[in-house]
Chains A and B, each alone.
Chain A
Amino acid sequence: MSEIVKDAPRFLVRFHGRGGQGAVTAAQLCSMAFDGPATCMPTFGAERMGSPVASFVKMSQNYEKVRTNEQVYSPQYVAVLDDSLLFDVDCTAGMVPGGFLVINTCRPIEEIKEIIGKNNPLAIHIALIDATNLALEYLGRNITNTLILGALLKVAPEIFTLAQLTDAIAEQFSPKIAQKNIDAIKVVPDATQVFMDENAPELSYDKDFKTAWSHIKIDNIGAKEWDLAGVWHVDQIDGGSRRVNTGAWGISVAQYHPEYCIQCGNCAFICPDFCILREEKDGKWEVVGVDEFHCKGCGNCVEVCPGKKDKETGEKHKALTMRMKC
């Protein structure tokens, strides 16, 4: 191995997105665009549409540096496809100081700094791009995973070139879709605003800022605290759907109108996330409302709700309707 290859930098990138936004494809495109050994992987978890996901890319001319099959804990670059994730996930975790956080957002930088400041990241630079609007304009749909790579290109020109990226896209997508993406990517660098942190040191490609055992959520219960291993007491184990804010995913939410409800219970059975709230009254369970923290706005309950006639107008009304959030 030549010395140049041996000392070659190791680029580590992490993508944050929601299931369905294409974070995994973005990582794969990166690895294809990079000229040399590269691997990428998603976080392996629930992959429901809308749930927070992350994916990783490791790239280096020196294969041994990226031979590891670990996830990436100390990335130099982080790309966030959906700024609502900044509230749920510590997107800056383990970031190398002097690295770049690229965010698809239309929020102003001050607000972004305030949100991520809660996690006390080391000194990092921030790049903002309103990729959603560009995607709607160029692709006709809100898929921003290729556009965010255009922003990455601006802050990390050393990883791959525009030509290498567009080649990878051409390989991965059908010609028509590829061309649209390539056209869009070309305008991204100019539309990306970069905010440098003057206190940030020069970016290191070798230093690792993973804190020891950070991959093991230390505040969850341990082996000695399980009542009986295998018995999953919901009050004991902080997991499952209960704590996932599925309500953050949708653009609409179900709204309950008790005056039209005949208590048929259809909605409670159909809701995939158990969001129909019920209370026991005189030995019977009655529908009383919607759990907005979890309602993801699928509309299933509205579909099955028979409702009843309005006393005054005689018109039939559903007891559940969809309300747009903004």
Chain B
Amino acid sequence: MSVQPMNPFFKKIKEPVELTMTGNYAVAGGVTQTDPDVICAFPITPQTQSVEGLSDVVNHGRLKAAFVNVESEIAALAYSTATCAAGARTFIATASQGLLLMAECLPMPVGWRVPLTMMISARAFNSPNISIWNSWEFTLLSGFGWNCIVSENVQETYDASIIASRISEDTLFPTHFVHDGFIISHSAQKFMAIPDEDVLKYTPKKPRHHIQTQRPGTWGSLITPDYFMEGRLALELEKNTVLDKIETAFRDFEKMTGRAYHSIETYNLDNPSKTVCITMGSMVGNILTWMEDNKEIGLIKLRTWRPFPAEQLRKIIEDHNIEKIFILEKDDDLSGHLPPVAASISTSLVGLPIILRSFIVGLGGRDVTKDEIQYATMKMRDVNDNRGKLYDYLGVRESKGKMWEVNF
């Protein structure tokens, strides 16, 4: 093959260097630099090249890790949880139906406090038909206690592949890091790679809890009603410290690279319409480019999706006297109430005098363009209360030749 995608990571990276790679290969590069001991995943579009890239670096000899082939996603997660519990730094990746197949194993590493790191290349679930393209399936499966950070572009997903490993091990909760399937996984963008040495300093392998013969114990055994709730509260108490640890990880990352990340990032909040759009992932870029010529609204970018930075969001909304919020989200759950992202946001803001709507866009890989952004902005001008349906689909055909009108 004339093109060797992982070439830049076959050699040691000694200086910060600009590379051009697709999101998946950049992640493979970043994960390589964190020196994982075990890589175990089952391929699924659009995640595949991330693990393919890692198999290349292992095969090349640059990365000394066990590359374990398994028969399914559920096997991959069960295996990874075990190796990670045994002390190995472990990387795993999936998307869509693969994540569903893992579902049985998702709560386990949380309860066991196993610091796994998983990439999700976000892709629609197969309903009503198979789609290999982008939707935010992860928002429907993020209730188990995994940490979750979401990236906008290739630079961010490369950085996240490093930061996530640090967050997992600092918090002892497993961490998902997500990019939009195809839109980022398959786009080639320029990004700055970090020297190996810095990455290793940033993500040191620290000794963790484990079970020894001197002090016998077991992972995940049967527990009676006398203890189960105490176990859950113990997890909750530890979970409460996670957001601070994530901020620390971001701060240290900024010291190392100059790239400043926060759980919530804001743009143009003090705008005349007192309106903000809240979203995450690759759409943030689309909106920011549009905002170059349009200053009517502000933007709040969620980088940390789980734990949800509720208090921080509430404070931002209060401090800037925001009156209207609209959410652009690439998910729906047919639940009859707000879709997942809006649901998290609205419950964080209970009691504030906020007018809120959510637009469901970009499902199954439909591009979200300036048309959607403009339409949503315009629609919000006339919304003045929280009556009626608070969400609707945008950028979809009602019938041949006719677009669906958002009904607020």
Chain A residues at the B interface, C-beta cutoff of 8 Å:
25, 27-28, 31-32, 37-42, 44, 64-71, 73, 172-174, 177, 208, 210, 212-213, 215-216, 218-225, 229-230, 232
Residues of B contacting A40 in the complex (Cβ-Cβ under 8 angstroms): 187-189
Q: Is the interface of A mostly helix, strand, loop or mixed?
A: loop
Residues of B contacting A208 in the complex (Cβ-Cβ under 8 angstroms): 370
Contact of B128 among A216, A220, A229 (CB under 8 A): A229
Among the listed stretches B58-66, B93-101, B178-186, which one makes contact with chain A, having 4 or more residues with CB under 8 Å of it?
Answer: B178-186
Instruction: Identify the closest chain A residue to B402 (Cβ).
Output: A222
Q: Is the CB of A70 within 8 A of B286?
A: yes
Q: Is the CB of B397 within 8 A of A28?
A: no
Residues of A contacting B187 in the complex (Cβ-Cβ under 8 angstroms): 39-41, 69
Q: Is the CB of B368 within 8 A of A219?
A: no
Interface status of B290 (Cβ within 8 A of chain A): yes
Q: Is the CB of A39 within 8 A of B188?
A: yes
Instruction: Identify the closest chain B residue to A57 (Cβ).
Output: B188
Q: Is the CB of B288 within 8 A of A64?
A: yes
Residues of A contacting B285 in the complex (Cβ-Cβ under 8 angstroms): 67-69
- How many residue pairs link A and B with beta carbons under 8 A? The number is 121
A44-B365, A67-B153 are known contacts. Are A213 and B395 too (CB-CB below 8 A)? yes
Q: Is the CB of A69 within 8 A of B180?
A: yes
Q: Is the CB of A218 within 8 A of B367?
A: no
Q: Is the CB of B400 within 8 A of A28?
A: no
Q: Is the CB of A173 within 8 A of B369?
A: no
Chain B residues at the A interface, C-beta cutoff of 8 Å:
2-3, 20, 127-129, 133, 152-154, 180, 182-184, 186-190, 282-283, 285-286, 288-290, 292, 365-371, 395-404
Instruction: Identify the closest chain B residue to A178 (Cβ).
Output: B2
**Bound Cα distance from A216 to B397, whole angstroms:** 8
What distance in Å separates the Cβ of A130 from its nearest Cβ neighbour in chain B?
24
Given contacts A28-B20, A39-B188, A223-B396, 8 further A-B contacts (CB under 8 A): A68-B288, A69-B283, A70-B286, A71-B367, A173-B2, A212-B371, A219-B401, A230-B129
Instruction: Identify the closest chain A residue to B403 (Cβ).
Output: A213
Q: Is the CB of A70 within 8 A of B397?
A: no
Q: Is the CB of A232 within 8 A of B129?
A: yes
A32-B20, A69-B153, A230-B128 are known contacts. Are A215 and B367 too (CB-CB below 8 A)? yes
Contact of B403 among A218, A229, A232 (CB under 8 A): A218
Contact of A69 among B2, B184, B400 (CB under 8 A): B184
Residues of A contacting B395 in the complex (Cβ-Cβ under 8 angstroms): 213, 216
**Bound Cα distance from A109 to B187, whole angstroms:** 34
Contact of B398 among A69, A173, A219, A224 (CB under 8 A): A224
Instruction: Identify the closest chain B residue to A39 (Cβ).
Output: B189
Contact of B183 among A31, A41, A73 (CB under 8 A): A41
Residues of B contacting A37 in the complex (Cβ-Cβ under 8 angstroms): 190
Q: Is the CB of B190 within 8 A of A218?
A: no
Contact of B188 among A27, A68, A219 (CB under 8 A): A27
Contact of A221 among B128, B154, B180, B400 (CB under 8 A): B400
Q: Is the CB of B289 within 8 A of A66?
A: yes
Residues of A contacting B289 in the complex (Cβ-Cβ under 8 angstroms): 64-68, 70
User: What would 5 A/B residue contacts be, using CB atoms closer than 8 Å?
Assistant: A67-B285, A68-B285, A70-B367, A70-B368, A222-B400
Q: Is the CB of A215 within 8 A of B369?
A: yes
10 closest A-B pairs by beta carbon, nearest first, are: A222-B397, A230-B128, A68-B289, A41-B187, A222-B399, A69-B282, A229-B128, A44-B182, A39-B189, A67-B285
Contact of A68 among B128, B290, B396 (CB under 8 A): B290
**Bound Cα distance from A36 to B301, whole angstroms:** 25
Residues of B contacting A44 in the complex (Cβ-Cβ under 8 angstroms): 133, 182-183, 186, 365
Q: Is the CB of A222 within 8 A of B396?
A: yes
Instruction: Identify the closest chain A residue to B184 (Cβ).
Output: A69
Q: Is the CB of B369 within 8 A of A210?
A: yes
Q: Is the CB of B400 within 8 A of A219?
A: yes
**Bound Cα distance from A32 to B367, whole angstroms:** 24
Q: Is the CB of A41 within 8 A of B153?
A: no
Q: Is the CB of B292 within 8 A of A221?
A: no
**Bound Cα distance from A30 to B192, whole angstroms:** 18
**Bound Cα distance from A232 to B126, whole angstroms:** 14
**Bound Cα distance from A37 to B366, whole angstroms:** 25
